[in-house]
């Protein structure tokens, strides 16, 4: 039972006790009557006996009915009672004690419930190093050896990292194999990479392969509002881990406590984090040779970690887990597809190639979304169309099929997306068009999706400039056909400006500015915007001129390209207005039909005399 459930049970029992006491008090107390009514009954001779306790009167009438009353004048009442031959009994009263005890009973019940609840919380605190409730660790309970665990067979797509960590598993299984040669097991392993690439899964697989205890805790669990709690939890965790060596300690998101120290006086949460980091550094240095305790940590921001944490002797090995390539994505798909009912004939290799840049977590989500799509449509197995629908939902957003779009806006959107697609199709060094749609998805009214044939790791200048031209294709198409501009190209312009800026300031591909870096990427594995380095005002003006010159040149070439292929633009836009979505195969058919017609037209133009004779 959890602490919350225990607390609620204690409060419920306390409330039941208070209510029960009040019910008992009400049932055992005779019904009250006024003192005037009591004197009237006494005068009639209806009172049989009474009991006096101070000014309180309880008794029975001659009908056997009980009653209670209060007398303000017992001295004057006694002669009346004696004259009526009423049976009288009395008891002494200790002033104020009875009322105080009665009022204290609910307080005692509530206090007792709180004490029991607090004791249950303290009893459930793990660890044995700290006596304070604030210092209790939040880590997962120790997993017993022999329990079903995750192994390397459950991890796919990161073979290089697995090969690197196999040595760690061997050192945990057979430490004497390394110690007899004078070597020692690495004390710490830092797993770094983008989110969703399997860092946590890999740490669990190491423990599963070696069949050793595994402690898991998040970096944020060390930090509380009370100064010193984080350091206490670090000491407690390592004390227990040493008792159960060999074992693995896994700290997820270690950048929460391992960030670079400020170097000056700190206070509040920063002071608490620095104390926690200092305790972690001391504990990592405190391992003896007979204590096989390996610290595995994961982070998305290795650039934020303190240099003292990364030095050899603490984190001896840093393993970078990158996004999987096409082969890796295929293996991850094969692992997750075993958990669902798949239709026969699905080409997982084609699906893997169509999702470049997907992490392991995103591929797992893709498979799950495909299964949900199949269930929603009442299918008995997951088909390729379910994977396509799931991929579109993840990449492009949820389709807003009920959105009310005017015919005029639909036409503008169709020509806009056709402009993107035609420029991408006609230019060299571009990614093939995978799908074009004018169905609103997410915040966009339409979308043109391109997918590379192979994973790209470097990009040529021609590819980057053509990317700007593709982005400008939508705006140019609107201007050519409708003679006016809309806000639909705002995101395209923003992306084109960013690419042009990086081409000039980061990649050094502009002949005027030269191979000089004026900006750098600060996002690490998390991406994010780049920051500009300091430079002179003259340099800033030159950079602005070159950015504008690059974009205007791409815009002009795109305009000329769409003007020369105006018929292709109309044909594709009309097809989009009819079908709303065009895939790669349909796009290929439209393109080849257009090229065939164009060849015929060019032939007729080049031989006008033969045409007249014919």
- Summarised one tens digit per residue, pLDDT across range 66-89 is 888 887 777 777 878 777 778 888
pLDDT in tens, 512-542: 998 988 887 665 666 656 677 788 899 999 9
Give the whole-angstrom CA distance, residue 187 versus residue 547: 49
DSSP code string of 154-173: G--S-HHHHHHHHHHHHHHH
Q: Which residues contact 537 (CB under 8 A, 6 or more apart)?
A: none
Q: Are strands 317-320 and 293-299 parallel, antiparallel or unpaired?
A: unpaired
| CA distance to 83, 145, 288, 354, 464, per residue, from 452 (Å) | 114, 46, 52, 8, 14
pLDDT (average), residues 126-152: 48
Lowest mean pLDDT among 12-16, 340-344, 565-569, 571-575: 12-16
The CATH topology of domain 3-98 is 3.30.720
Query: Where is 530: in which H helix or E strand?
Result: strand 530-532
Does the structure show a pLDDT above 70 at 361?
Answer: yes
pLDDT tens digits, 550-595: 999 999 999 999 999 999 999 999 999 999 999 888 999 988 888 8
The structure tokens 């009526």 sit at 84
- Confidence (pLDDT) at 34: 81
Tell me what the mean pLDDT of segment 187-195 comes to. Answer: 88
Exposed, middle or buried by CB within 10 Å (0-12, 13-18, 19+), for 403? Answer: exposed
In 10 A of CB 548, how many CB atoms?
A: 12
Cα–Cα distance measured from residue 531 to residue 506, given in angstroms and rounded to the nearest whole number:
10
Q: Which residues contact 454 (CB under 8 A, 6 or more apart)?
A: 326
Task: Give phi and psi for 130, each to the nearest 5.
Answer: -120, 135
Would you state the pLDDT for residue 38?
A: 80
Please state the rounded mean pLDDT for residues 345-369: 90
So what's the pLDDT on residue 553?
96
Q: Is the per-residue pLDDT at 234 higher than 80?
A: yes
Q: Which fold would CATH assign to domain 326-396?
A: Helicase, Ruva Protein; domain 3 (1.10.8)
Summarised one tens digit per residue, pLDDT across range 201-224 is 888 888 788 788 888 888 877 776
Q: Is 233 helix (H, G, I), strand (E, B) or coil?
A: helix
- Band of residue 97 on the pLDDT scale cut at 50, 70, 90: very low
The CA-CA-CA angle for residues 429, 435, 438, to 5°, reads 125
Please check the confidence at residue 496 and state whether its pLDDT lies above 60: yes
Question: Do the beta carbons of residue 438 and residue 414 sit within 8 Å?
Answer: yes
**Has this prediction a pTM greater than 0.85?**
no
Q: What is the pLDDT of residue 607?
A: 61
Residue with tokens 């000491």: 235
- CATH topology assigned to domain 407-600: Methane Monooxygenase Hydroxylase; Chain G, domain 1 (1.20.58)
| Residue 451, both tokens | 């997918």
Q: Which residue is associated with the tokens 């806009």?
A: 416
Domain ranges for the chain, please list them.
3-98, 135-320, 326-396, 407-600
pLDDT at 131 over 50: no
Is pLDDT above 70 for 267?
no
Share of the chain above pLDDT 70, in %: 81
Tens of pLDDT, residues 287-334: 655 567 888 899 888 888 888 888 888 888 888 888 888 889 999 999
pLDDT, one tens digit per residue, over 392-422 is: 888 888 877 777 788 999 999 999 999 999 9
Evaluate whether 168 touches 295 at the Cβ level (below 8 Å): no
pLDDT of res. 410: 92
pLDDT at 98: 52
**Region 281-287 average pLDDT:** 79
Q: Of 338, 367, 342, 341, which is closest to residue 352 (Cα–Cα)?
A: 367
Q: Which of these ranges, 122-131, 266-275, 351-360, has the smallest mean pLDDT?
A: 122-131
Distance of alpha carbon 163 from alpha carbon 161, whole angstroms: 5
Return the residue matching tokens 């949900």.
372
The kind and range of the H/E element at 97 are helix 97-124
Q: Which of 209, 417, 478, 557 is catalytic?
A: 417
Poorest-pLDDT segment among 18-27, 242-251, 373-382, 506-515: 18-27
**610 falls in which pLDDT band (50, 70, 90)?**
low
Asked if the domains at 135-320 and 326-396 fall in one CATH topology, the answer is no
Query: Please, which pLDDT band fits residue 117 given cuts at 50, 70 and 90?
Result: low
- Topology given in CATH for the domain delimited by 135-320: Rossmann fold (3.40.50)
Q: Are 470 and 430 in contact (CB under 8 A)?
A: yes
Q: Which residue has the tokens 């697989």?
A: 205
The predicted pLDDT at position 597 comes to: 82
pLDDT range class, residue 136, cuts 50, 70, 90 = very low
**Of how many residues is the chain composed?**
614
Catalytic (active site) residue 334: no
Phi/psi zone of residue 533: left (φ > 0), alpha (ψ -120 to 50 degrees), beta?
beta
State the Cα–Cα distance between residues 37 and 74, nearest whole angstrom.
Answer: 16
State yes or no: pLDDT of 125 exceeds 50. Answer: no
Q: Distance between CA 404 and CA 416 in Å, rounded? A: 19
Structure tokens at 569: 């633009």
| Least confident piece of the model among 173-182, 388-397, 445-454, 491-500 | 173-182
Question: What does the mean pLDDT of the chain come to?
Answer: 80
Q: Which residue has the higher pLDDT, 136 or 469?
A: 469
């Amino acid at each position: 039972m959890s602490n919350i459930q225990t607390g609620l049970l204690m409060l419920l029992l306390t409330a039941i006790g208070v209510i029960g006491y009040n019910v008992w008090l009400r049932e055992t107390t005779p019904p009250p009557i006024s003192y005037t009514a009591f004197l009237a009954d006494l005068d009639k001779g209806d009172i049989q006996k009474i009991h006096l306790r101070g000014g309180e009167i309880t008794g029975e009438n001659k009908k056997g009915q009980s009653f209670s009353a209060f007398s303000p004048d017992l001295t004057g009442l006694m002669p009346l009672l004696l004259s009526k031959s009423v049976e009288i009994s009395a008891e002494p009263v200790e002033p104020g004690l009875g009322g105080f005890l009665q009022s204290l009973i609910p307080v005692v019940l509530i206090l007792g419930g709180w004490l029991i609840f607090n004791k249950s919380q303290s009893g459930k605190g793990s660890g044995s190093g700290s006596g304070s409730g604030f210092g209790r660790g939040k880590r997962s309970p120790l997993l017993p050896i022999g329990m079903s665990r995750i192994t390397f067979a459950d991890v796919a797509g990161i073979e290089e990292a697995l090969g690197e960590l196999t040595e760690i598993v061997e050192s945990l299984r057979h430490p004497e194999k390394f110690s007899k040669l004078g070597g020692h097991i690495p004390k710490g392993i830092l797993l770094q990479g983008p989110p969703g690439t399997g860092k946590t899964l890999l740490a669990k697989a190491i423990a599963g392969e070696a069949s050793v205890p595994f402690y898991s805790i998040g970096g944020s669990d060390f930090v509380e509002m009370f100064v010193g709690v984080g350091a206490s939890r670090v000491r407690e965790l390592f004390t227990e881990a040493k008792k159960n060596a060999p074992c693995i300690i896994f700290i997820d998101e270690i950048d929460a406590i391992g960030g670079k120290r400020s170097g000056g006086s700190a206070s509040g949460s920063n002071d608490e984090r620095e104390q926690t980091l200092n305790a972690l550094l001391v504990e990592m240095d405190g391992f003896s040779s007979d204590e096989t305790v390996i610290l595995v940590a994961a982070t998305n921001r290795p650039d934020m970690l303190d240099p003292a944490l990364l030095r050899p002797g603490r984190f001896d090995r840093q393993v970078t887990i990158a996004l999987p390539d096409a082969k890796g994505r295929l293996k991850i798909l094969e692992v997750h597809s075993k958990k669902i009912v798949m239709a026969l004939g699905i080409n997982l290799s084609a699906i893997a190639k169509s999702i470049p840049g997907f992490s392991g977590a995103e591929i797992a989500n893709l498979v799950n979304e495909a299964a949900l799509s199949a269930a929603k449509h009442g299918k008995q197995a997951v088909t390729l169309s379910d994977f396509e629908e799931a991929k579109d939902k993840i990449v492009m957003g949820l389709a807003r099929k009920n959105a009310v779009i005017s015919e005029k806006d639909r036409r503008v959107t169709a020509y806009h997306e056709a402009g993107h697609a035609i420029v991408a199709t006609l230019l060299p060094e571009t990614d093939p068009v995978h799908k074009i749609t004018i169905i609103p998805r997410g915040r966009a009214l339409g979308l043109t999706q391109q997918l590379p044939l192979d994973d790209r790791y470097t990009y040529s200048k021609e590819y980057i400039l053509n990317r700007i031209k593709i982005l400008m294709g939508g705006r140019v198409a609107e201007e050519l056909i409708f003679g006016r501009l809309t806000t639909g190209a705002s995101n395209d312009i923003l992306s084109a400006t960013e690419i042009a800026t990086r081409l000039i300031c980061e990649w050094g591909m502009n002949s005027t500015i030269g191979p000089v870096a004026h900006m750098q990427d600060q996002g690490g594995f998390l991406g994010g915007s780049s920051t500009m380095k300091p430079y002179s005002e003259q340099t800033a003006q030159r950079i602005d001129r070159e950015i504008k010159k690059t974009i205007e040149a791409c815009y002009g070439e795109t305009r000329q390209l769409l003007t020369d292929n105006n018929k292709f633009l109309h044909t594709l836009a009309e097809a989009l207005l009819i079908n709303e979505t065009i895939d790669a195969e349909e796009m290929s058919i439209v393109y080849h039909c257009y090229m065939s017609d164009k060849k015929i037209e060019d032939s007729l133009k080049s031989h006008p005399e033969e045409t007249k004779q014919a």
